[in-house]
Structure 1
Amino acid sequence: MQAGHQMFEGTDAHRWTSWRVLYLLAVGVALTTETRWLCPPSCHCNTSALEVNCSGVQFMTVPSGLPREAKLLNLSHNSVKTLLHQQFHTLTHLLHLDLSDNLLVLIEVEAFLGSQSLLTLRLSRNQLKIIPVGAFAGLTNLQLLDISSNQILVFLDFTFSDLAALQFFTAAYNELVFISHQAFTGLTSLQELHLDGCNLTAVPTEALTQLRVLKGLHFHRLGLTTLPNYSLHHLVHLKELIISHCPRLETLLGNSLFGLNLTSLTIKHCSLNGVPYIPLRHLVYLVYLDLSFNSITYIRGNLLGDLLRLQEFHLVSASLVCIETGAFKGLAHLKLLNVSRNLLTTLEAGAFHSVETLKSVGLDNNPLACDCRLLWLLRKRLHLDFGGRPPTCTTSVQLQGWNFLDFSEGELPNLLTCRQPRILNRKLQDVKVDQGHTVVFYCSSEGDPLPSVSWLNPQLKYVSSVGRIRTLSNGSLEVRYVQPHDSGTYFCVASNAAGNDSLPVSLHVRAFPPSSKNHFLPQGWSAFPSDSPTVNGNQKFPFDVKTLLIAATIGFVSFFSSVTVCFIFMFFWSKGKGQIKHTATIAYVPRSTMSNSNSGKGNSTEPSRFTMKLI
């Protein structure tokens, strides 16, 4: 027992000695580390993370004596105004530098020279007005640059030419009015660019041509009024384009998106008044489309078929009143449709290429009329994701306030019903009219839902709402300045989801009789109708003495006025030629004299005449 006791005592002593050695080693290492890490006053240093945090201590300049091994340096929320030449050259291991929320007004050339390991640089919320060329010299490995919320007015040529490794660049909320054509030269690795909240009124197309591998471009709160043709066509690798909060942007020209291979396009909080069908036709790789918060009222049929790969379509709060039949025809991969907070009364299955591909539908906050047009959607309700906001019946009196999830499968066919259209006034409309008149055919109908009225011409083609023959907003058909070839049978067709009804009307146009020949008018002219009697089919024109006398008087007055003006002009012209005597000789040659002088030449006679000479 005593031997065992001594053995345990020896073990405890050995263990105690080992712990003392380890403790002394740890203390020695700590002392050595603290000796090497001389943390600047008011800063907090984390030796394990190699971090120096000097945020919010009101430094006026960058502090000296920063640890050389530091990898993270936080100087945000201070009052630093200037970065000097080679300001951080001793921090050769620095990876992340934060100078945001200072009073920076000047960055000297080569301020960051020596910090070649730097990966991220944040200079946001300062007072920079310009960045000199060469300010970022030496930052050959920088991947992220944030200069947002400054007062920068212009980007000069080659400002960022030293940042060959830069991948993410945000210059949002500056006062940029111009970006020089070579400003982005050297940014050969840039993946994402944010130009938000600036004073730019046009896309800096020439500058953007330098960004050959750009994948994401953000325009936010710019003064754009339109997106011109070929604005971005050099950005062949661009995948995401976001344009938002540009209230003056009303149009996208037809080739504005030409050359792009976008997979995601967002144009929201702008002033588009319609879906930009023509520009979108180029985007055959588009997967995501968001046109929310625009003044778009219709999605027309059969105009989005070029977006073969589209999977998500968002059109929230857009004043949408109708999604036409065939609106999404050709979109065989459409999985999500979000049309929340609009003015839709229904969403028909005929709008889709296939309802089987749909997985999510946003339809809440619409004045929905729950009738047979929505029966397909309610039957799929248990297999659809409504985003936690299932639609509600609003305009149906019987079902007002009902939630889509409140219906049971058995009651759907009896509750969601429609009434077939019926044309009210079926009185025969058979119109016979002379050529050149205007004819209106009327057609009114009833049904539930309210039927839409269209017209077919005699060739059984739909009549449009524009042109000489057109449909009116009240359902009528107007034929203006009728011609003989307009004759025939027209059909009024009233349609809704429950079926249709039709009504034929007839139009007979009498042509003008052939016009008679008139030898008194030039060829190609036609005489006005007259009530004067005719002789042998030829129209007689009355002789008007008064008109003839007025015309003759006007002619004589004009003639004598011209002669008088000529004599007055000759008189004053001759007076300016010096002392020249003018002689006027008037000779009268009687008829008999003329006859006697020519007696030897036959019996020809000449009339008497006056001869006047002015010398």
Structure 2
Amino acid sequence: MSRLLLLLFFCGLTESRPPTPQATPLAPPCAVVQMEVSCSDRALHSAPSDLPRGIRSLDLSRNQLQNLSQETLAFHTDLHLLNLHNNRIHFIQPGLFSDMPRLKVLDLSRNRLSALAVHTAPLGPLGAVESLDLSGNGLYTGMSDVFLHDSPQLVNLSLSGNSITKISGDAFRGAASLRKVDLHNNVVMEIEAGAFDSLLHLSDLDLSKNSINCITNFDLRSLRTLNLSQNSLEVFQSSSPSDQVSELLSLDLSQNKLPLLPLIPRKNRLERLDVSRNHIQSVNVTASYSGQMFFFCTCLAPPPSVSKHHTCFHHLRFLDMSFNNFQSLPECLFHTMLSLEVLNVSNNCISSFSLSRDLLLPEVHTLDLSENALQTFQVHPGSLQSLQELHLSGNSLAVLDPRSFQSLQNLRLLHLQRNHVQVCGGESSSSCAAFQSLPSLEFLDLSENHLLRLPPRAFQNTPLQRLDLSANPGLVLHRDTFSGLEDSLVHLFLKENNITELHSDLSALTSLKSVDLSTNQLTTLPPWSRPSSLESLNLQNNNLVTLEQGTVLALERSLKTLYVGANPLSCCSNLAFLQLLQRSAVVVADLEAVTCLYLEDSPPVSIEKVTQEMCEDLHNGSVNVVLAVMAALVLAVALALLVKCCQARRRRRRTRSYRA
């Protein structure tokens, strides 16, 4: 009895105790590789105390640090790299980084340093730091000045994604060694005079995605790259003494509100200029200020005192003027562009493009004139000698010199879709273009050109690999249209042409890998008269009922992918085709949508459900029906003869009885 009472007593004690709280799961240990430590994404409030001494790199990004001190960093002072990206830091112990004489890279991006800047508490001194990231900290005008006042070795600085509206004249006075400054994605509206003058080594400046509307007398002598895209610029003028060359190599002014092309010093080394997506309508014929002539003024002959090596854009390699309002492009615009390689003037309102002089744009390999209003395209035989890609899609080209492209001996790709170009045969006419004997042309797009016919040997002596003739309703192909492409053509597109019958022998194209014949009115394919190399065939949305067995066998050897949906296929009329779909290695990419007619009046059934046995049963059933019908006919004829014979006998008996 006493033992029972004692047991009940201990049970009561056990029930009265509060439940033991479950331990919070421990964060996984930091990854240590040699002297580099990664503790990111571990919900830490400070660096673990058990890290090895003397580590060179410490990654504490994406944690929950708030107050940064020596204790927080576990007294590590030999760091070369410290990553504190995406924490909640709003307080930094004064002088903390002065105890880190080897610290080169400091990432404080996406924290709450605006709270620290309010109290004008400095980060520094940052005696050895070369790269500092303060992006995404809610900093506004004047705050960054506090952080940078003692950063003598700082080379790379990021202040992107903050709320800075004004760059003061002394913003970078404490960081005279800066070479790269990123102020992307702020709300900068004003730059005080001299703000960057103390940065004698500045080479890269990113001011994109701000609210700057005017840049005048821009003169940063050492700057190589300047990005001012996505602002509200209406004026850009850079200045440079007449005896000094501007060192700027790349200038991005895209997505602004410029009404005219920017004014660039005549003596420059500019290699890349992007003025796309502005409001530019024309080219300045002359423009000057401070007694200087600037580029986009050379439509007038330069003064005799200006030597040839002082041409305006002698070094330019890339020029993008797309998505503007250009009505025309004066030929003189290109007189000094001897090194230009890429010219993009797409999506404008240009009605004519001509180069009437020899040796214009000699190094251009890509010319994009697509989405304009071009009605004429004329190129002197001595111009564009390096051209490889020509984009003319989305224009109004109809009348062309038949030899328009013959002088472009290096042309490899030609886009002419959405025009009104007709293809010449042997005739000479100004209403068509010749595509014969273009020795380098491999890619030609003539889709959506209202083509009526393609003459025989239309592309002879032109090594086309890809030919697009799609979306030309009513197009008539001659049997020998593709003659001359037997060994070169790899991809052929003939979709959306309302073709009812294909006269051309595609099997003669021995290199052909893919053909698109979708959305036509084909009832059959031409017979494949030789072994096929075809790997992809699109027959969707036609009127195909069957394919000839010889064609199926020829295609089966090489075909890998087939599209055949939206056709009134017969389930059993061509069992060879059925086997191609079901048994071979051919992948029917739209198999779920492929149906066929099993019985004439029955709804379409999935091709996957049809078996050879079903077709054999259908065939046997049909034979039995025919035999039954024939037997019935024979029986009916026999009965009819028997009835006729009986009637004849009766007549004879009546006649005999009458005579008696």
TM-score, with normalisation over the residues of structure 2? 0.54
* 1:378 pairs with 2:576: no
Amino acid across the alignment from 1:104 = Q
Contact 2:565 / 2:590 at 8 angstroms: preserved in 1? no
Give matches, 1:534-545, under 5 Å: none
**CA distance 1:100–1:120, change in 2 (3 Å):** farther
**Correspondent of 2:566 among 358, 365, 382:** 365
**Correspondent of 1:74 among 246, 252, 260:** 252
Q: Report the counterpart of residue 105 of structure 1 in structure 2.
A: 282
Match of 2:403, SS state, is: helix
Percent identity, aligned pairs only, is 20
Q: Report the counterpart of residue 541 of structure 2 in structure 1.
A: 341
Give matches, 1:99-248, under 5 Å: 99-108=276-285, 111=296, 113-158=311-356, 161-182=359-380, 185-229=382-426, 231-247=434-450
Match of 1:193, SS state, is: strand
Per-residue deviation, 1:89? 4.7
Whole-Å separation in 1 of the counterparts to 2:611 and 2:598: 18
Contact 1:378 / 1:404 at 8 angstroms: preserved in 2? no
Amino acid across the alignment from 2:565 = D
Match of 1:179, SS state, is: strand
Amino acid across the alignment from 1:105 = S
**CA distance 1:275–1:165, change in 2 (3 Å):** same
Per-residue deviation, 1:63? 4.2
Per-residue deviation, 1:318? 1.2
**Correspondent of 1:57 among 231, 252, 277:** 231
Q: Report the counterpart of residue 515 of structure 1 in structure 2.
A: none
* 1:397 pairs with 2:599: yes
Question: 1:406-463 CA deviation, whole Å, 9 max, x = no partner?
Answer: 346765654688979xx9xxxxxxxxxxxxxxxxxxxxxxxxxxxxxxxxxxxxxxxx
**Correspondent of 2:470 among 231, 249, 268:** 268
Q: Report the counterpart of residue 111 of structure 2 in structure 1.
A: none
Contact 1:227 / 1:251 at 8 angstroms: preserved in 2? no
Question: 1:476-516 CA deviation, whole Å, 9 max, x = no partner?
Answer: xxxxxxxxxxxxxxxxxxxxxxxxxxxxxxxxxxxxxxxxx
Per-residue deviation, 1:169? 1.1
Whole-Å separation in 1 of the counterparts to 2:507 and 2:446: 23
**CA distance 1:332–1:91, change in 2 (3 Å):** same
Q: Report the counterpart of residue 568 of structure 1 in structure 2.
A: none
Q: Report the counterpart of residue 453 of structure 1 in structure 2.
A: none
Match of 2:446, SS state, is: strand
Residue segments in structure 2 that go unaligned for 5+ positions in a row: 1-52, 55-69, 80-96, 104-125, 131-150, 156-174, 179-195, 216-222, 287-294, 299-310, 428-433, 627-660
**Correspondent of 2:530 among 330, 343, 355:** 330
Whole-Å separation in 2 of the counterparts to 1:153 and 1:124: 15
Q: Report the counterpart of residue 319 of structure 1 in structure 2.
A: 521
Whole-Å separation in 2 of the counterparts to 1:89 and 1:410: 83
Question: 1:235-259 CA deviation, whole Å, 9 max, x = no partner?
Answer: 1111111101123x11122243222
Question: 1:570-605 CA deviation, whole Å, 9 max, x = no partner?
Answer: xxxxxxxxxxxxxxxxxxxxxxxxxxxxxxxxxxxx
Contact 1:304 / 1:331 at 8 angstroms: preserved in 2? no
Contact 2:424 / 2:435 at 8 angstroms: preserved in 1? no
Per-residue deviation, 1:292? 0.7
* 1:289 pairs with 2:289: no
Per-residue deviation, 1:168? 1.4
Match of 1:298, SS state, is: coil
Match of 1:405, SS state, is: helix
Whole-Å separation in 2 of the counterparts to 1:369 and 1:64: 73
Q: Report the counterpart of residue 557 of structure 2 in structure 1.
A: 356
**Correspondent of 1:280 among 468, 471, 482:** 482
**CA distance 1:203–1:162, change in 2 (3 Å):** closer
Per-residue deviation, 1:108? 4.3
Amino acid across the alignment from 2:435 = L
Contact 2:425 / 2:455 at 8 angstroms: preserved in 1? yes
Q: Report the counterpart of residue 486 of structure 1 in structure 2.
A: none
Whole-Å separation in 2 of the counterparts to 1:364 and 1:294: 18
Contact 2:571 / 2:578 at 8 angstroms: preserved in 1? no
Contact 1:43 / 1:55 at 8 angstroms: preserved in 2? no
Contact 1:82 / 1:104 at 8 angstroms: preserved in 2? yes
Amino acid across the alignment from 1:196 = S
Amino acid across the alignment from 1:329 = S
Match of 1:280, SS state, is: coil
Match of 2:331, SS state, is: coil
Whole-Å separation in 2 of the counterparts to 1:253 and 1:12: 80
Amino acid across the alignment from 1:319 = Q
Contact 1:43 / 1:52 at 8 angstroms: preserved in 2? no
Match of 1:330, SS state, is: coil
**Correspondent of 2:100 among 3, 9, 19:** 19
**CA distance 1:180–1:380, change in 2 (3 Å):** closer
Contact 1:229 / 1:258 at 8 angstroms: preserved in 2? no
Per-residue deviation, 1:266? 0.8
Q: CA RMSD in A?
A: 3.9
* 1:259 pairs with 2:461: yes
Contact 1:217 / 1:242 at 8 angstroms: preserved in 2? yes
Amino acid across the alignment from 1:296 = I
Higher normalized strand content (fraction of residues): 1
Contact 1:371 / 1:418 at 8 angstroms: preserved in 2? no
Using CA pairs under 8 Å that are at least 6 residues apart, name the structure with larger relative contact order, 1 or 2. Answer: 1
**Correspondent of 1:87 among 264, 283, 293:** 264
Q: Report the counterpart of residue 299 of structure 1 in structure 2.
A: 502
Contact 1:304 / 1:329 at 8 angstroms: preserved in 2? no
Per-residue deviation, 1:74? 2.5
Residue segments in structure 1 that go unaligned for 5+ positions in a row: 1-6, 424-615
Question: 1:325-366 CA deviation, whole Å, 9 max, x = no partner?
Answer: x1x323521222111011111223322534221111110011
Amino acid across the alignment from 1:59 = L
Per-residue deviation, 1:208? 1.5
Q: Report the counterpart of residue 406 of structure 1 in structure 2.
A: 609
Match of 1:206, SS state, is: coil
Per-residue deviation, 1:131? 1.6
Per-residue deviation, 1:400? 4.0
Structure whose CA Rg is larger: 1
Contact 2:355 / 2:379 at 8 angstroms: preserved in 1? yes
Question: 1:138-184 CA deviation, whole Å, 9 max, x = no partner?
Answer: 433332211112222222334794422211111112222222351x6
Per-residue deviation, 1:92? 2.1
Contact 1:226 / 1:250 at 8 angstroms: preserved in 2? no
Amino acid across the alignment from 2:483 = R
When structure 1 is superposed on structure 2, of 59-68 and 234-243 the one drifting more is: 59-68
Aligned length: 405
Whole-Å separation in 2 of the counterparts to 1:12 and 1:291: 69
Amino acid across the alignment from 1:404 = I
Question: 1:69-126 CA deviation, whole Å, 9 max, x = no partner?
Answer: 6554332232323336x72656525435243332231254853954444332211122
**CA distance 1:378–1:129, change in 2 (3 Å):** same
Amino acid across the alignment from 2:408 = L
